[in-house]
Amino acid sequence: MIELILVGSFLILVCVGIPIAFSMGLSAAITILYASGTHALNPASGVMFASMSSETLLAIPFFILAGVIMELTGISTRLVELADKCVGHHKSGLALTAIIAALLFAAISGSGPATVAALGAVLIPALVRHGYSKRHAASLLASAGGMGIVIPPSIAFIVFAVVASDHQRVSISRLFMAGVVPGILMGLAFYIVARYLPRQLEQLTTNANLNVSKGLGRLGLGASSPSAASGGDTPNSGVGPQSETATKGIITLDDTVDPDAEVGNRSRRAPWREILRALLRAIPGLLVPVIILGGIYGGIFTPTESAAVASIYALLVGLLTNRELKFGGLWKVFTTAGVQSSRIMIIVAAASLYAYVITSNQIAARVSDALLSLTESTLLLILLINLILLIAGMFLDAVSAFYLLVPLLVPVLLELGMDITTIGVMMTINLALGLVTPPVGVNLLVAGSIAKISYAEATRGIWPFLLAGLVVLMLVTFIPQLSNGLPNLLGA
Amino acid sequence: MFDRILTSVENTVIVAAFATMTVVYFANVVSRYLLHGSLAFTTEIVVNLAVLLTMVGAAAGVRLGSHPSFDLLPSVSKGLVRTILISLVAAATLSFFLLFLWLGWEMTSRQFVQGRVTPALGVPQWIFSMALPVGAALGAIRAVQAGFSQIRMAALKQEASV
Amino acid sequence: GDGGDDDGEESYTWDFTVTTSENSTWYEAAELFADRLNEDSDGRMEINIHANEQLSGGDPATGVEQLMNGDKAFSYNSTIIYDGLDSRFSAINAPFLYSDYEEAEATIEASAGDAYAELSREIGVEMLGFGESGFRQLTTTDTAVTTPEDLQNLVVRVPGSSLFLNIFNELGADPTTMNFAEVYTSLETGTIDGQENPYDVIYSSGLDEVQGHLTVWNYVYDPLILGMNADLYESLSEDDQQIIQDAAAEANAHQIEQNRAREEEQLAELSEDMEVVELSEDQVEEFREAMEPVYDTHEDDWTEDLFEAVQPE
Ligand code: NA
Ligand code: NA
């Protein structure tokens, strides 16, 4: 009965359109009231305070800050340019450019939709010019953006490590390393799909400077107002997960979309001089993963510290390379990143209260017993759990899904003999695919609005990519070496 | 006027807290290698500021309508149904913040009486805990504002389309 | 929550949290306590045990606050955690207070136990006796620590308590209060150079895999308070109180016995992977002198009466 109230009230609140964070907090509170009365609500504030003041989770605001600054300084465009100069001349070179640029950007950013917004504005129109249908161009970028949470750094892995530590300790550094090979595999799978997609010329009606926010607003799925970053005061109708990118699109300063960055217009390899020039321009961005991963594995920083160092580094790069990033720009950077990270951290806070209800009422034990009693077959159970995760990913972001499902599913998976590293990567890939599955597919929504197609049309193009992603998911699920190989090699 | 003051207070707190966190935490890394200063003090400041940032940022998120949600129903509905749904969202948001205004206040006053201090700085814990009720109060105000302004906008849109 | 029973006697379901994992002696003792209560009360008293401070998101200080406020019924928490809420509690953790377990036990028996029971009642906790986390030892990555000079500028992780921060500051180290969940990785990557804990924590967290040196210096005695919310305790009948006292005594005795028995095996296993140095009397004396200023800083906090009560005979 308690389970029913906890899950049922959450689903009802979410479906009415109440933000996920508040739905979680309220359904947890309702369940506590039902199960034990008003006095049992007392621990709620302490539980939430503890989760918001965790040093480990402090990495989240810092990684978001670094991402916002780097977006602002045009690093994404330079990565596209570099990838294009290197592989753009190949057959299907543009698709490869998109994948490589996404891999590079994923190594900077911890967020999926951010990757889509940053790269899509340049790449989607270029792909369409090269004969890809709009829905396939949008889907390619949307799926490539999903790699953002599998390739380190990744907010999803940080949250997984924190929530899973109740069951088995796993370090963030290890999970970060474990995501590299599966992330590259995802990129490879998406590239193979893109290679065999049908191509024909279609009329292009969009351009690189499309206003993302406007596109979203038109879809009726809501977006924050242009005052988001400047701290204006007009609350907008509609509340949606895609607002992160909408806000992002707006803070971009004028010179970040490089007019030279038009890609995919070459049939021969670019001259070495040009490649070198592109490389030099991309170096500030390419150094970020070096600083973050090198810092963590070189024993210089904790993951949280690496995020703070990356922020300061990005700020310095920004101040040196972007003359407009003066005081006003900095103000925008901090308000934008501040609101973005609060949005995630308030989910963390409310979700830990939700997890508290699961724990204090021994719900996890009952659910795992029920799951384990369903069938003797380990294979079926693992497939079933993947299905549960995929369904959760259709509706929820990774942070909420982890708080909800890790306490319930990780004990079962451990019982079935899976190792915690593989579990973490498997769950994260599931939720990365969730970024492109309807009804709530944030990446797809952003990509679709850049391509100026309806959300429904965009979802029609996603199936081949989703299938490719599922293949990788199965490989990762059943071949633990894919996740464990690299961290074991590096002793992480 | 009230709204603009509130907005600039929000933004100032967000920028001040976040910038301080970033600089102090970065200095923490530097100090470990160069200055051998006390890491414990700085960490304590940063994690407690993170709570303030989250609470005030969440209130600002309500103002900007940027909290992730599954808003299929509100976006396809029209007229009275839409007004009701918007009111429900606003009411739920308000209840969330009022609940944590109350619980946060209870926790803060308990700590005030019990006299818990932070280990490194020796600062009374209730000062940091104030972030909870203060942020929740801001969020409650924003929930009411957002509710009214969205109902107004929905009505305007309806008029325009008739 | 609690509710009525057919016989008119109250029946109860209570939460019990421990800081450590399911494999710890703390958890084992909590299980014994739960079994005994259940048996002696004919099933009227039921206990849900939660490892890893699960009810407070892994944060032990918040966990003790919950106990004080009556948000849960029982917990095993170190006095070092209580110190984060009330600085008197670390009196018994004063450096080099006891030379061995016998001395600690005798003092607790004679005076410290009663003093802590009274102290706990002041913050709303009924102390049902002491368990034991044991003497705390030091592990380091590259440096063998035998003198205070060896600790110069080493980054050492300590619990979130001003006493421990002060001790390591006095020794010339850089103490930091990192979340324990990050300690293993940080030791491995070299972000921190050392940490201090009783054998059980060192052993069960596998720190010997990432630490080269173990300094056995028995510098802090670390007792565990088996605490119950005081209002709840007062609300029970005398018979029920007795049932709880008896179960607690049994659980504590079992936990202490297990902890000491395991220590020997654990030290033996740890010394296979680590260089173990047991400090001599003279070496200990040097550390004791270096930590002397800590007494001046904290004596006022501890209060005269309490400080008196924890002194060995
Ligand atoms: Na990433
Ligand atoms: Na989805």
Q: What is the pLDDT of residues C109-124, one digit of tens each?
A: 999 999 999 999 999 9
Q: How far is C116 from chain B (nearest CA, A)?
A: 17
Q: Which ligand is nearest to the CA of A147?
A: 1
Smallest CA-to-CA distance from A107 within A343, A322, A323, A296 is with A296
CB contact under 8 A, B11 and A236: no
More confident residue, C189 or B49: B49
Give φ, ψ of A168 to 5 degrees: -155, 135
Interface check for A58 against chain C (CB to CB < 8 A): the answer is no
Rounded to a whole number of angstroms, the distance between the first and last alpha carbons of chain C is 44
Q: How far is the CA of C211 from the centre of ligand 1 (A)?
A: 31
pLDDT of A67 > 90? The answer is no
CB contact under 8 A, A56 and C15: no
Average pLDDT over residues A231-260: 35
Verify that A70 and A154 share a domain, yes or no: yes
Write the pLDDT tens digit of every residue in A120-154. Answer: 888 898 888 888 899 999 999 999 988 989 999 99
Cβ-nearest to B120 among C61, C65, C165: C165
Q: Which residues of chain C from 61 to 100 reach within 8 Å of chain B, CB to CB?
A: 61, 65, 68-69, 84-87
Interface check for B117 against chain C (CB to CB < 8 A): the answer is yes
pLDDT number for residue A446:
87
A113: left (phi over 0), alpha (psi -120 to 50) or beta: alpha
Interface check for A299 against chain C (CB to CB < 8 A): the answer is yes
Task: Report residue B10 as tokens.
Answer: 């929000």
- Give the number of domains in chain A: 2
Q: Quickly state the pLDDT bin for C35 (edges 50, 70, 90).
A: very high
Verify that A10 and A66 share a domain, yes or no: no
Question: Average pLDDT of chain A?
Answer: 82
CB contact under 8 A, A338 and B21: no
pLDDT number for residue A226:
30
CB contact under 8 A, B116 and C84: yes
pLDDT number for residue A267:
65
List CB contacts (< 8 A) between C177 and chain B.
Answer: 39-40, 43-44, 119-120
Verify that A223 and A90 share a domain, yes or no: yes
More confident residue, A247 or C181: C181
pLDDT number for residue A252:
36
Q: Which ipTM did the prediction report?
A: 0.87
Verify that A212 and A308 share a domain, yes or no: yes
pLDDT number for residue C54:
84
List CB contacts (< 8 A) between B40 and chain C.
Answer: 165, 175-177
Give φ, ψ of A224 to 5 degrees: -75, 155
Give φ, ψ of C68 to 5 degrees: -60, -40
Domain that residue A315 falls in = 48-490
Task: Report residue C104 as tokens.
Answer: 């600690």
Interface check for A362 against chain C (CB to CB < 8 A): the answer is yes
d(CA C28, CA C37): 14
Verify that A37 and A130 share a domain, yes or no: no
Cβ-nearest to C55 among A37, A302, A359: A359
pLDDT number for residue A140:
94
Ranking A457-461, B103-107, B136-140, C183-187 by mean pLDDT, the lowest is: C183-187
pLDDT number for residue B79:
85
d(CA B13, CA B1): 18
How many CB atoms are located within 10 Å of the residue A134 CB? 25
**Which of A12, A18, A248, A343 to probe the B interface (max B CBs under 10 A)?**
A18
Q: Quickly state the pLDDT bin for A117 (edges 50, 70, 90).
A: confident
Verify that A9 and A60 share a domain, yes or no: no
Cβ-nearest to B43 among C65, C123, C176: C176
Give φ, ψ of C222 to 5 degrees: -125, 95
Ranking A177-181, A260-264, C274-278 by mean pLDDT, the lowest is: A260-264
Interface check for C72 against chain A (CB to CB < 8 A): the answer is yes
Verify that A1 and A75 share a domain, yes or no: no
Q: How far is the CA of A277 from the centre of ligand 1 (A)?
A: 26
Verify that A36 and A159 share a domain, yes or no: no
Verify that A33 and A107 share a domain, yes or no: no
d(CA A249, CA B125): 39
Verify that A406 and A458 share a domain, yes or no: yes
Write the pLDDT tens digit of every residue in B26-49. Answer: 988 887 777 666 677 888 999 999
Cβ-nearest to C160 among B111, B114, B119: B119
d(CA B107, CA B110): 5
Question: Average pLDDT of chain C?
Answer: 92
Q: How far is the CA of A112 from the centre of ligand 1 (A)?
A: 8
Q: How far is the CA of A144 from the centre of ligand 2 (A)?
A: 15
pLDDT number for residue C70:
92
How many Å separate Cα A135 from the centre of its chain?
21
pLDDT of B102 > 70? The answer is yes
Torsion of CA B120, B125, B127, B132, to 10 degrees: 120
pLDDT number for residue B38:
65
Interface check for C280 against chain A (CB to CB < 8 A): the answer is no
pLDDT number for residue A166:
77
Verify that A182 and A138 share a domain, yes or no: yes
Interface check for B83 against chain A (CB to CB < 8 A): the answer is no
Interface check for A239 against chain C (CB to CB < 8 A): the answer is no
Q: Quickly state the pLDDT bin for A424 (edges 50, 70, 90).
A: very high
Write the pLDDT tens digit of every residue in A280-321. Answer: 988 888 888 888 888 888 878 888 888 899 999 988 888 887
Point out which residues pair with C140 in neighbouring strands.
C194, C213
> Do residues B63 and A243 lie in contact, with contact meaning Cβ atoms separated by under 8 Å?
no
Taken in order B85, B88, B90, B93, the sign of the CA dihedral is negative
Residue in the structure block whose two tokens are 């799925």: A221
